[in-house]
Amino acid sequence: MTTTVGAGTPLWGRAEQQDFRARVRGCLLGGAIGDALGAGIEFDSLAAIRAAHGPDGVRDYVPAYGRRGAVTDDTQMTLFTAEGLIRAQVRRDTGAWHPPTDVHRAYLRWAATQRDWGPDEREPDAGWLVHEEWLYARRAPGQACLSGLADDRMGTPEEPKNPGSKGCGTVMRSAPFGLLVGWEPPLVFQLAAECAAQTHGHPTGVLAAAAFAVIVHGAARGEPLDAAVQRALALLAGRPGHEETTHALRQALGAVRQGLPTPERVESLGQGWVAEEALAMGVYCALVAEDVRHGLLLAVNHGGDSDSTGSVCGNLLGAVHGETALPAGWLAELEGRATILELADDFAMELTQGASLHGPAGSSAAWLARYPRA
């Protein structure tokens, strides 16, 4: 999609900028739609889903958290991942270049939305996202995410938080790492792994998130999805503790060749509560999807963590096809759509035009107010 000079400095033509923005929008909005489709049936068995919604399961949003189109912690944390990466790019001007730290600070801001009543106007350096009042809502957040962010200490690969945890909370928030299309895949893999260790320390929780980021990265670059999965497998192969994640992805690839996709075939890959299962199920549904609607409905109609598998599938399909492929009716009812679009456009603008927004030649005061260097 782009040519690069040096380490991760993309050269962008106008058409490339427009294509990239469409993929970023598609990735973030698609993930949120999948999240919202699964939110109302997250804890139901397949039999219960069919009994309540018919033999084909859910075909549209069902009420969750008091409304249709409500998103969960999956979308909340994905947005803060994206915001943290923008802040990291902005802080690079200062020489303080350590993206895991900026992402961790963003996750701490998300954690504040889970315990506070609303935004604290006394913190001007917090940026704009944490002041979005609709984000101050508990939507069944994972305990490992909450406990991993309960204090200011940042988990690292050497000293991770929750070293025994491999819940899907790492995978469902990691799509934005893959949108760093000017980076080389091993660097995307490493950054996603380091940030996963901030809440989940089990090798599978870390490596499944890293693999997902690399698959999104390939999709955002316009590569075939199966080729992106093969690249992820190659990067996994050299990592200690990769076996569960590798096996899950190989199962997903094998399921593609086993016949027409069905909810039962999706369930053969797991329930999605743990990282490698959520990854495999979301990837499988994206690989066999006839279109975005088909893939997302397949990804949520199973007995398990429907919102997380829907989110993973939606991130991938949105990155592949762009936002114009997303069903308009679902977009119209999606909670937080304006915020998600605003953040997606900011992410695309930072990556393609960051040098015009901040740097030695001058900076935009409005941009630095949105994404403070402090």
Please report the pLDDT score of residue 11 as a whole number. 64
Average pLDDT of the residues in 33-52:
97
- State residue 359's pLDDT score: 85
Cβ distance 207 to 248 under 8 Å?
A: no
- In this predicted structure, the answer to whether residue 53 has a pLDDT above a threshold of 70 is yes
Q: What is the phi/psi pair of residue 269, to 5°?
A: -90, -5
Least confident of 1-10, 162-171, 358-367: 1-10
Share of the chain above pLDDT 70, in %: 97
Residue type, 276: E
Confidence of residue 4 (pLDDT cuts 50, 70, 90): very low
pLDDT for 350 equals: 97
Give the pLDDT mean for 275-280.
Answer: 98
Segment 307-324, tens digit of pLDDT: 999 999 999 999 999 999
How does DSSP assign 189-258, residue by residue? HHHHHHHHTTT--SHHHHHHHHHHHHHHHHHHTT--HHHHHHHHHHHHHTSTT-HHHHHHHHHHHHHHTT
362 pLDDT band, cuts 50/70/90, is confident
CA distances from 67 to 37, 135, 334 (A): 12, 15, 10
Give tens-digit pLDDT for 203-244.
999 999 999 999 999 999 999 999 999 999 999 999 999 999
Distance from C-alpha of 262 to C-alpha of 297, rounded to nearest angstrom? 11
Mean pLDDT on 22-31: 98
pLDDT at 207: 98
Rounded CA gap, 82 and 148, in Å?
Answer: 19
pLDDT band at 2 (very low <50, low <70, confident <90, very high): very low
Q: What is the pLDDT of residue 357?
A: 95
Q: Are 80 and 104 in contact (CB under 8 A)?
A: no
Report the pLDDT averaged over residues 14-28: 97
Per-residue pLDDT, averaged over 60-80, amounts to: 98
Q: Determine the pLDDT at residue 8.
A: 44
The pLDDT of residue 96 is 83
Query: Does residue 6 carry a pLDDT above 60?
Result: no
Question: With 80 as the cut, is the pLDDT of residue 282 above it?
Answer: yes
pLDDT for the residue 95? 84
Residue 136 has pLDDT above 60, yes or no: yes
Which residues share a beta bridge with 9?
Answer: 5
Find which of 117-131, 281-295, 358-372 is predicted with most confidence, using mean pLDDT. 281-295
Mean pLDDT of 15-42: 98
